[in-house]
Amino acid sequence: MHCMTRFTGYELNLLADCGLLKGKRIAIDATTLEANAAMRSIVRRDTGESYEEFLRGLAKASGIATPTREDLARLDRKRKKRTSNKDWKSPADEDARVAKMKTGETRAKYCFL
């Protein structure tokens, strides 16, 4: 979805003016590639805290004073809303985006048209 938002009316009008578009339908091919960013290094856009710090805050708010890694993993699985590009970013690679894979895994990816 993120790839499609980058393709604006300006580009479509430019292609039409050059005679490269005709008809009523347009097909756009996109692909995702592995990003040079690790999911464990993402940070929140608003506070800059890491994903683990965020989960530790959720654990403390739910009454777990000193959460183990298993507690954090369990808490993460129970959360309804997961990572989104609106809330999270990679500090090392600004172009990397969070993408859900066919297997259900979440990875950092690039999206190209």
**Radius of gyration for the chain, computed over Cα atoms and rounded to the nearest angstrom:** 19
pLDDT in tens, 93-107: 777 777 777 777 766
Average pLDDT over residues 18-36: 73
pLDDT band at 6 (very low <50, low <70, confident <90, very high): low
End-to-end, the C-alpha distance of the chain in Å comes to 11
Q: List the one residue out of 24, 25, 35 whose CA is nearest residue 2.
A: 35
pLDDT in tens, 50-66: 988 998 998 999 899 89
